[in-house]
């Protein structure tokens, strides 16, 4: 497309040093529609307006931050004014969420933060975060993607908010083996339900989430075809994960795989949370504990190499676990609720 444009400007003559310079990717982006109309474009418009009117960023700086062209920024700001989204003052309720999002992005080096509102400060954030996650995934998933998924209550709630549509050549990979209890939360079942929403191919780890020994784990990988799934996981475009805590009520402890002695031992070794059953400490380091060597899951190092890493989790009791998970995964997108976001910022001394 760019070559055709160059020839047209040059009158179909051979290119020379004095020919019109080739347009940059950002300039070319300004010549086409950047976002379809919908939730995603509305969110982009709100972020641009917040950066321009509240943070007083230049249009060039906004274009750089959002990965779009300056002409697109101008159009977004114009649309925001035309839709009466920009006023002289913003109510605290409207302003608080984007303020928290921007603070999270700056503090933790995120590409994008999404903060879901809560009806009350003590409300269960699982459903609101699940809704925000489902909406984000609906707009994010594109044909040809390879997507790895974790599991948990938050991700399960997200299923109800994902727009069901056929998506050609989409592949979904379960990042964790299955379990035998509480089928509602089975990782394999979640990945299958997720893939059905997009009529995608689904790849599962046909093994328990936790095996009895390192030897069993190696045998399953080497002799039962799991190495193919692990290899496929190295080529993922994106992952969607949630965080588990170490409280007795956390999902990881509700299926009988971990005893109270295991939990106490993990805490003694510094564990503050888990991600697909890999337990980590407050600094985001995988703890040196036998449990971590017996987990049938795609290695965290594979996941960290994935270009887009989406982390979704919340709850005041998980703040320490989430902060550790941010250091471990270094997500590009983080989705949480407003109470958790404020607590996280307060914990690291950024205020709220």
Pairing of strands 278-280, 273-275: antiparallel
5 is written with which tokens? 């444009």
Report yes or no: 118 and 337 within 8 Å, Cβ to Cβ: yes
Please give the sequence-ordered ranges of beta strands (E in DSSP) within the chain, or none if there are none.
112-116, 146-149, 171-174, 201-203, 238-241, 273-275, 278-280, 308-312, 333-337
**pLDDT for residue 351:** 57
Report yes or no: 101 and 107 within 8 Å, Cβ to Cβ: no
Extract the residue ranges of the chain whose pLDDT is less than 50. 1-38, 88-92, 183
**pLDDT for residue 226:** 84
CATH number of 96-347: 3.40.50.1360
CATH number of 2-95: 1.10.10.10
Q: What's the order of all strands across the beta sheet hosting 308-312?
A: 112-116, 333-337, 308-312, 238-241, 146-149, 171-174, 201-203
**pLDDT for residue 269:** 95
Burial (CB < 10 A; 0-12, 13-18, 19+), residue 309, is: buried
Rounded Cα–Cα distance for residues 71 and 76 (Å)? 9
Rounded Cα–Cα distance for residues 277 and 291 (Å)? 8
Residue labelled with tokens 């475009």: 237
| Residue 287 DSSP SS3 | coil
**pLDDT for residue 223:** 83
Residue extents of the structural domains in the chain: 2-95, 96-347
Rounded Cα–Cα distance for residues 35 and 72 (Å)? 10
H/E segment holding residue 335 = strand 333-337
Rounded Cα–Cα distance for residues 90 and 272 (Å)? 38
Alpha-carbon separation of residue 161 from 97, 156, 171, 207, 306 (angstroms): 20, 10, 20, 29, 24
**pLDDT for residue 320:** 97
DSSP 115-168: EE--SSTTS--HHHHHHHHHHHHHHH--TT-EEEE--SHHHHHHGGGSPP---T
236 is written with which tokens? 């993922």
210 is written with which tokens? 């936790």
Q: How far out from the chain centre does Cα 308 lie?
A: 7
Please tell me the pTM assigned to this model. Answer: 0.75
**pLDDT for residue 50:** 85
């Amino acid at each position: 497309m760019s070559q055709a444009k160059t020839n047209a400007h040059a009158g179909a003559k051979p290119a020379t040093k004095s020919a019109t310079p080739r347009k940059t990717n950002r300039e070319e982006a300004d010549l086409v529609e950047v976002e379809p109309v919908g939730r995603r474009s509305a969110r982009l418009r709100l972020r641009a307006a917040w950066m321009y009117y509240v943070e007083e960023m230049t249009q060039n700086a906004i274009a750089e931050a959002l990965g779009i062209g300056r002409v697109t920024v101008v159009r977004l700001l114009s649309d925001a004014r035309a839709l009466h989204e920009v006023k002289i003052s913003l109510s605290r309720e409207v302003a608080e969420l984007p303020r928290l999002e921007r603070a999270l992005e700056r503090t933790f080096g995120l590409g994008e933060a999404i903060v879901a509102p809560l009806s009350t400060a003590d409300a269960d954030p699982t459903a609101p975060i699940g809704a925000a996650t489902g909406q984000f995934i609906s707009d994010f998933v594109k044909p040809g993607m390879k997507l790895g998924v974790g599991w948990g209550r938050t991700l399960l709630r997200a299923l109800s908010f994902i727009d069901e549509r056929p998506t050609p050549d989409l592949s979904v990979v379960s990042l964790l083996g299955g379990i035998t209890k509480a089928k509602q939360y089975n990782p394999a079942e979640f990945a299958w339900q997720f893939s059905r929403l997009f009529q995608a191919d689904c790849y599962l780890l046909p093994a328990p989430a936790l095996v009895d020994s390192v030897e069993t784990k190696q045998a399953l990988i080497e002799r039962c075809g799991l190495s193919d799934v692990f290899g496929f996981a190295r080529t993922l475009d994106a992952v969607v994960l949630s965080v588990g805590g170490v409280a007795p009520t956390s999902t990881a402890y509700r299926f009988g795989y971990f005893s109270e002695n295991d939990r106490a031992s993990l805490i003694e070794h510094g564990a503050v949370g888990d991600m697909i059953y890999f337990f980590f400490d407050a600094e985001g380091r995988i703890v040196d504990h036998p449990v971590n060597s017996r987990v049938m899951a795609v290695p965290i190092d594979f996941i960290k190499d994935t270009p887009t890493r989406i982390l979704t989790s919340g709850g005041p009791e998980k703040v320490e676990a989430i902060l550790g998970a941010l250091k471990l995964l270094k997500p590009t997108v983080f989705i949480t609720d407003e109470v958790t976001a404020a607590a996280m910022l307060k914990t690291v001394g950024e205020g709220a």
